Amino acid sequence: MRNVPSMWDENPAGRPTARRSIDGADPSIHHAHGDQTPLRVRVYLLTYFFSSLTIDRQTWCFGLIPIGWILSSLAEWLGVPICHTNVQVQSVADPSEVAEFGYEGGPRHVTGVYQCAPGCNPHLAFTRQQKVYLGETDLTHAELVAAVRSVESRWRAPDYNLFTRNCNHFCEALVDELIPGTRMPRFINRGARASCFWTGGLAPWFVRTRVKDGGSWTAGKVTLMAEEERAAMGVPDFAEWEEWAKGDGEGSDGEEVDPLAEHLHPVPLL
């Protein structure tokens, strides 16, 4: 494996070269090295729903009425859930290798992109989660790191805006780097789109000019917590992982075997 600088380096690399599959291949699958290259990585969108976080918070009448849970659940029922999303990538060669990336705002003039332990986004690890399979790509580890670095260089913490540049917008950008043209679930950011429409752009302007950290309620804490938690759990920096294209599964006839095929058959929902 060639040396790859840390994903937190201040001089990110450019966008990795990649092209769509041709000759009748599945257009939902992104091939970087030609149509005959085996698939390497599965891409998922992991959503954390705030309704399961607010059950015992924001209460009325001496804690008897869980108003926070009622309002967040109502928003979810109406199709505009209050949620946070991250992107997960899983190695097909070694399914135990799963990396998760998110974005938050904050006062520090650095990237707002962070890597956390899979399914353990700080502050939200115990909320109800929904994992959606988006597709597959055969980018190598080095190309995956380059894709993440390309996005993180553009998604700085001070640029966060609750309505126009939030965690969900970041996921759209990263997924587009990994699988160009992939559609995201429509409920993601539906509330932000509706707010922008009904206020005629006033809501984003108000957040940008009057609200601290662009409306990011975590204000940079998640990035630091994610670093500490990954260190405590022994989860290495994604840029330091071994080459994902190693692949040790081969059938008796020499054909490469997908280790996930026996127990997981992901189907895109969109």
Q: How many domains does the chain have?
A: 1
Whether 115 is covered by a domain: the verdict is yes
Whether 189 is covered by a domain: the verdict is yes
Distance CA 230, CA 193 (A): 33
Which contacts (CB < 8 Å, 24+ apart) does range 98-102 have?
Answer: 99/238, 99/241, 100/46, 101/148, 101/174, 101/238, 102/167, 102/170, 102/171, 102/222, 102/226
By residue range, what is the domain housing residue 91? 41-235
Residue 16: the pLDDT is: 38
Is pTM beyond 0.75? Reply is yes
Residue 206 sits in a domain of what CATH number?
A: 3.90.1720.30
Whether 15 is covered by a domain: the verdict is no
What is the residue-level pLDDT of the chain in tens, covering all 270 positions? 333 334 444 433 343 333 333 333 444 444 454 444 444 789 999 999 988 888 777 888 888 888 888 988 998 899 889 899 999 999 887 788 899 999 999 999 999 999 999 999 998 888 899 999 999 888 888 889 999 999 999 999 999 999 999 999 999 999 999 999 998 898 998 988 888 888 888 999 999 999 999 999 898 999 999 999 999 998 889 998 876 655 544 444 545 555 555 555 566 554
